[in-house]
Amino acid sequence: MLESVRMDKIHVHTYSEIEKIEGYIGNFTVTIRKKARYVKDTCNGCGACTEICPAHGYDEFNQGLNPRKAIYIAFAQAVPSMAQIDMTKCIRCGLCQSVCELKAIDFEQEDEFIEEKVGSIIIATGWDEYEPPKGYLGYDIYPNVITQMKLERILAPNGPTTGHLVRPSDGKRPKRILFVQCVGSRDLNKNTYCSSGVCCMISIKNSKLIKQHYSDSEITVAYMDIRAAGKDYEEYYTMSRKEGIKYIRTNISKVEEDPETHNLKIILQNTLSSEKLTVEEFDMIVLSAALVPPKGIKKLQKMLKLETSRDGFFKEFHSRLNPIDTNVPGIVLAGVAQGPKSIAEAIAQGRAAASSTARLMTKDKFEIKLIRATVDKEKCAACRLCELN
């Protein structure tokens, strides 16, 4: 990211969103809303304003596991490294203005609209984590039932606990941990698709990481199927089993919490053995939730006049022969914008997308075949639905 910002021919618009896209291949006009930070570009990210700010808000980057100030830098490696103000939490006390030596605080700053002329567009929207319904396996009711994204922030060296594994209820280290797979995916009532094995590999990776740091941890993975289809993935899965991580093929239907210890009790049965139902107790449960299309994808879809598949991700020109291009010339897909995929697959598709747009932009001309619909007046019912679309 930092390297990209330093390149002359790359314009990076942070804290911004697309408002409007018009035009066609070679002549797209993109209107960008640059949101007001209420901090001028002269800010050097010294952090003096953050230290003195008395108001607190929700830390989105750390999944709400810790608070942050009303004026803050998004995260440690943010580009650019400058502060921004959450006006929904700011009390306008003016303390940040009084300590800013560069006079960078501007409470009157407004959103700015920028127009960019581009020849082609690469859609790389990424993904959101599926949000389980409140109460599902105790989620959002019992504090020690968390998702993989929260566990990632807990285990991160720059996270709220500086990489120390603790459970949210009391800050103690959980010794017995249960990972529950396929939450929100492979389910006819939620999302029918599999997240390309990403959830499986994240569970294996995080369980191995915990085991490396805390060898006395007792980790169980409750799964329907372990899908480790990438290169060396099966070997990685086998290594985790050799390290003592227990895998049980089962379905978890209910979680109950002990109100005194905040430990979590479940009933499970290994469907690959003749064992009877057993009651197990865990210190923490981690839900491996599905990859879902990001918020705002429908707005982008309407602007670009693209199609989406049943799963809500953008539809490619051809799922097998051309998974990069869309049905609109000059607009291509990269990464999870097209559907769930691993990091390796996303990188490969990103490079393919760059190659596809480069091939188009090196031409002096691009011939667009105009396909025009005609109306058979004898069969037309005059419903006018075609005019609405």
**Rounded to an integer, what distance in angstroms lies between the CA atom of residue 202 and that of residue 127?**
15
Confidence band, pLDDT 50/70/90 cuts, at residue 49: very high
Residue with tokens 């607190």: 56
Q: Determine the Cα–Cα distance for residues 383 and 303; give it in Å rounded to an integer.
A: 25
Assess whether pLDDT exceeds 80 at residue 54: yes
| Segment 239-249, tens digit of pLDDT | 999 999 999 99
Evaluate whether 304 touches 323 at the Cβ level (below 8 Å). Answer: no
Block residue for tokens 């005609």? 374
- Please state the rounded mean pLDDT for residues 130-159: 95
Arithmetic mean of pLDDT, 61-77: 93
pLDDT score for 366: 83
Q: What is the pLDDT of residues 161-189, one digit of tens each?
A: 999 999 999 999 999 999 999 999 999 88
What's the pLDDT tens digit per position in 208-219? 999 999 999 999
Confidence of residue 323 (pLDDT cuts 50, 70, 90): very high
pLDDT higher than 80, residue 368: no
What average pLDDT does this structure show over 323-349? 94
> Are 59 and 67 a contacting pair, CB within 8 Å?
yes
Q: What is the pLDDT of residue 389?
A: 59
- Collapse the DSSP code of 81 into the 3-class scheme (helix H, G, I; strand E, B; otherwise coil) and give the result: coil
Average pLDDT over residues 301-320: 93
- CA-CA distance, 372 to 211, in Å (whole number)? 62
Paired tokens of 258: 């002990």
Range with lowest mean pLDDT among 15-29, 290-304, 358-372: 358-372
Query: Comparing 364 with 344, which gets the higher pLDDT?
Result: 344
Q: Domains in the chain, start-ordered, CATH in brackets?
A: 2-121 (no CATH), 128-292 (3.50.50.60)
Share of the chain above pLDDT 90, in %: 81
Q: Give 352's DSSP letter.
A: H
Does the predicted TM-score (pTM) go above 0.85? yes
Amino acid identity for residue 229 in this structure = A
Asked if the bond preceding 80 is cis, omega within 30° of 0, the reply is yes
Please determine, for residue 23, whether its predicted confidence score (pLDDT) is greater than 70: yes
What's the pLDDT score for residue 271? Answer: 85
Q: What is the pLDDT of residues 258-267, one digit of tens each?
A: 999 999 999 9
Average pLDDT, the chain: 93
Instruction: Calculate mean pLDDT across residues 136-165.
Output: 95
Average pLDDT, integer, range 319-340:
94
Residue 218 · residue 108 · CB < 8 Å: no
Write down the pLDDT at residue 126: 93
Nearest CA to 289 out of 176, 152, 95 is that of: 152
